[in-house]
Amino acid sequence: MEAAPDPNFLFKTRTNTELGAESVEVDGDGSVLLRGVVKLVTESMLTSYPRALLGHWTPNRASIRFSADEIADRRITKAGSSDPLDLDALRAAS
């Protein structure tokens, strides 16, 4: 298992886990598709991951889609920023 590149976007899942994504696309219906989803290996995950990956991003899934209504709850941000992006900002970033 290898580390993945650092993500360009961060977001919260329905269970409040923080994941990252390489890119974002906004569809005509306002749904948001996050591609290249990765997760950060934490101390509690070391039973499933080698210690060498602690603190590194690893692949999680190819993509995840959220409806326009879910965007505020997912708190999608640019990596390095704590300000959530609204739908217009996400369109501009895609």
pLDDT digits (tens, 9 = 90+) for 9-56: 999 988 888 999 999 999 999 999 999 999 999 999 999 999 999 999
Q: Would 1 be classed as within a structural domain? A: no
Q: Would 81 be classed as within a structural domain? A: yes
Q: Would 4 be classed as within a structural domain? A: no
Residue 58 near residue 38, CB atoms below 8 Å: yes
- The pLDDT-based confidence of 72 (bands split at 50, 70, 90) is confident
**Is the confidence at residue 62, as pLDDT, over 80?**
yes
Residue 22 to residue 65: CA distance in whole angstroms: 14
Q: Would 3 be classed as within a structural domain? A: no
Residue 57 to residue 1: CA distance in whole angstroms: 11
Q: Would 57 be classed as within a structural domain? A: yes
Q: Is the pTM of this model over 0.85?
A: yes
Q: Would 73 be classed as within a structural domain? A: yes
Residue 76 near residue 91, CB atoms below 8 Å: no
Containing structural domain, residue 59: 9-93
First to last CA, the chain: 29
